[in-house]
Amino acid sequence: MLRIEHLTKKYGDKTAVDDLNLHIQKGEIYGFIGHNGAGKTTTLKSVVGILQFDRGEIYIGGESVKEQPLKCKSKIAYIPDNPDLYDYMTGIKYLNFIADIFKVSAADRKERIHKYADLFEITDELAQPIAAYSHGMKQKLAIISAWLHEPELIIMDEPFVGLDPKASHLLKEMMRAFCDNGGAIFFSTHVLEVAEKLCDKVAIIKGGKLIRQGTMDEVKGDESLEDVFLELEK
Ligand SMILES: Nc1ncnc2c1ncn2[C@@H]1O[C@H](COP(=O)(O)OP(=O)(O)OP(=O)(O)O)[C@@H](O)[C@H]1O
């Protein structure tokens, strides 16, 4: 579903991501962990077409993000680390805007908005301008918009930040259901307990280089993910 080959991205002289290779298959929840400044956001933004990269290739469903950017974007949803949505829109207007872009039918959008807004308990707030939302409410709206158009791949940067425990639990269930239905998820997190419980596979990045990747068993064996991570970070 997602194939990253030799991804290299520099900011001036600084190499933020260095020859990174990763393959994510349908059905997989893939966690991406690393210290602050390790290169996670740079990698995710390269995948979703926000950042140009210096070397390498990224394929989504077999299509190159460089050669077929629109086709690739039609297959994915992206939740950035900071849900900076359009403050002047109401929540419902924003969701309809996203549904318009992805050509979701009137019946489908109505059903999905109703379902997810109810689950996240923000139905009443959808009529309010996004400027009046808390960080967690914006995050919930961003999550609903990602699930609205039934993408094949969801990319999320620190999706659990700002969510209350109930919403975090719901998101984990939604992620599992999405991948059990043939989707794939690639997400960054600093919460190692979440990664350990939720992910099928995990990749650890350090100073722009991938230093460990594989199934949870391959990466951590009998140890805790936290112990392995702290050991690798030394
Ligand atoms: N726009 C930019 N200009 C210059 N350097 C940048 C820019 N964005 C990121 N960097 C640098 O690239 C490196 C990787 O940053 P990135 O944001 O990808 O890390 P991260 O793993 O997402 O970190 P965090 O966990 O803190 O979000 C860091 O050294 C950072 O300082």
DSSP state of 90: B
Identify whether the C-beta of residue 145 lies closer than 8 Å to the C-beta of residue 94: yes
Percentage of the chain exceeding pLDDT 90 = 87
Using the mean position of ligand 1's atoms as its centre, give its distance from the Cα of residue 15 in Å.
10
Cβ of 36 less than 6 Å from ligand 1 = yes
- The confidence score (pLDDT) of residue 86 equals 85
Residue 175 has pLDDT above 80, yes or no: yes
- The confidence score (pLDDT) of residue 82 equals 86
Indicate the residue type of 140. Answer: K
Identify whether the C-beta of residue 152 lies closer than 8 Å to the C-beta of residue 1: yes
Options 3.30.505.10, 3.40.50.300, 3.30.390.30, 3.40.1010.10; which CATH number does 2-81+152-232 get? 3.40.50.300
| pTM, entire model | 0.95
Q: Residue 96 is encoded by which pair of tokens?
A: 């309809």
- 11 pLDDT band (50/70/90 cuts)? very high
Ligand 1 pocket, mutate which of 41, 160, 192 (most atoms under 8 A from CB)? 41
Four-CA torsion 210, 34, 188, 131, nearest 10 degrees: -140
Residue 38 has pLDDT above 80, yes or no: yes
Cβ of 80 less than 6 Å from ligand 1 = no
Cβ of 11 less than 6 Å from ligand 1 = yes
Using the mean position of ligand 1's atoms as its centre, give its distance from the Cα of residue 70 in Å.
26
Using the mean position of ligand 1's atoms as its centre, give its distance from the Cα of residue 14 in Å.
10
Cβ of 13 less than 6 Å from ligand 1 = no
Per domain, the residue ranges of the chain are 2-81+152-232
- The confidence score (pLDDT) of residue 222 equals 84
**Minimum-distance ligand 1 atom for the alpha carbon of 39:** 18
- SS3 of residue 157 by DSSP: strand
**Minimum-distance ligand 1 atom for the alpha carbon of 158:** 27
- The confidence score (pLDDT) of residue 147 equals 97
| Angstrom distance (rounded) from CA 10 to CA 53 | 7
Mean pLDDT of the chain: 94
